Amino acid sequence: PSRLAALVKTRCRIFQTAYNPTSARTGAKYLRARLRGPSMVKYYPPVANIAELARTYKNAGLADFAEAQRLKDVEDKKRRGKGAPPKAKDK
């Protein structure tokens, strides 16, 4: 048994593999696996951001209707006294 263990240890050193005589769980299977993130990013198409396009092309006349509606709602809430409180100036 000691000769076999020495042989396995030498083989692991030569082929640069992990020597694990007790068969403990190491998680090597998951560490060797291909990363999923880049494939997932390539799978989904890029999302068109209306606000970014409007900032880039100011003279194109693009309007972000969702942002305009949000600003109108915030203004309505402020008028009714339901808006966010002012931020504190000191601690």
Listed by start position, the domains of the chain span 50-80
Supply the pLDDT for residue 3.
94
Measured distance CA(21)–CA(1) in Å, rounded: 12
What tokens were used for 68? 């305009």
Instruction: Scan for tokens 């942002």, then name that residue.
Output: 67
Mean pLDDT by runs of 10 across the 91 residues of the chain is: 92 93 90 92 87 84 86 95 88 73
Could you give the dihedral angle defined by the CA atoms of residues 69, 72, 74 and 75, in that order, rounded to the nearest 10 degrees? 180
Q: What is the CA radius of gyration of the chain?
A: 31
Contacts of 11 (CB under 8 A, 6+ apart): 17
CB 19 within 8 A of CB 9: yes
Q: In the numeric block, which tokens belong to residue 17?
A: 């593999």
